[in-house]
Amino acid sequence: MNLKKKVKYITPVWVKKCLKYCFYLLQDIANRIKGTNLKGYPPKRLNFVGSNEFKKVGDEFVKHFKELGNLKSSDTVLDIGCGIGRIAIPLTKHLTDGELYGFDIDKRGIEWCKKNISKKFPNFHFNYADIFNKYYNKKGQIDADKFNFPYDNNKFDFIFATSVFTHMLPEQIDQYLSEIKRVLKPGGKCFLTWFSIDDEAQKNISNNSSNCDLIYPYEGNVAFYSHKNVPEAEIGYKEPWIIEQLKKYDLSESLKIHHGSWSNREESTSYQDIFISNKKY
């Protein structure tokens, strides 16, 4: 294991979160002094969703939604695990006649989105759900595998979850896919990102060249994770299991898989693997 990975996997999660907060706080102070804060974006210290390249990742996904997912400006869209608006912010420019509904289990993220996005864009709605997740919401009171999305049947044209199923356990994903089936219109589009383990990804995990060391099997051997004590920090799934699950919930029509660079494969579209499909009519 190289040094970078050692630091990533051996440092306790709470230490990493504290270090990240301090590092971003310094960047916020520097940006404030220089007057280079990005308007309409959260301060860096509130970014709990990963990459330092917050704006770049948001813009990248909106491009994928349009080009690969055929997202229309009039669509009614669901953003599962919307975080602190990384994707919703650039979507405000595109969804001019449509609506976006987002929910997340991080209260600060939802409060920021309500205050900074919904106020200017009343067609963007955000909800907090106090769901337990060992990495993101340790005090949550609701089990994800029993959670029903707070929306009517067949409401949405387009549903996405970016970097969310990479933090959820198999029985929780099963429940979320059944809920996606319920709230997505027949023929509607489903855009999900995963760490999908196919033969190439497995080879690179085994020879230690993958960015994510998904080596610990979760019960049932369909899922593998990298942080020994916190599976939700980073978890991937065997590709045939993902496809079976999508089929089980009628979400595998016209399925297209765009593999990502996380496993260090030669050709990639994004960092995580993108699965785009339609709900059966």
Distance of alpha carbon 86 from alpha carbon 184, whole angstroms: 22
x/- site string to ligand SAM, residues 38 to 67, per CB under 6 A? -----------xx-----------------
Strands 216-217 and 253-258: unpaired
Distance between the two ends of the chain, CA-based, in angstroms?
Answer: 48
Q: What single-letter amino acid sits at 257?
A: I
Which residue, among 120, 43, 49, 127, has the nearest Cα to 83 in the 3D structure? Answer: 49
Q: Which of residues 104-133 bind ligand SAM (CB under 6 A)?
A: 104-106, 109, 131, 133
Nearest-approach distance from CB 166 to ligand SAM, in angstroms: 7
Using the rule CB under 6 A, give the single segment among 80-88, 112-120, 220-228, 257-265 that binds ligand SAM.
80-88
Does 167 interact with ligand SAM (rule: CB under 6 A)? yes
Distance of alpha carbon 256 from alpha carbon 276, whole angstroms: 5
Whichever of 33 and 245 has its CB closer to ligand SAM, that residue is: 245
| Strand partners for 101 | 78, 125
Secondary-structure breakdown of the chain: helix, strand, coil percentages, each rounded to the nearest 5: 40, 20, 40
Distance of alpha carbon 236 from alpha carbon 205, whole angstroms: 11
Nearest-approach distance from CB 109 to ligand SAM, in angstroms: 6
Whichever of 175 and 202 has its CB closer to ligand SAM, that residue is: 175
Which residue, among 223, 242, 236, 241, has the nearest Cα to 263 in the 3D structure? Answer: 236
Among 41, 99, 118, 163, contact with ligand SAM (rule: CB under 6 A): 163
x/- site string to ligand SAM, residues 187 to 206, per CB under 6 A? --------------------
Interface residue list for ligand SAM (CB under 6 A): 49-50, 80-83, 86-87, 104-106, 109, 131, 133, 136, 144, 162-164, 167-168, 172
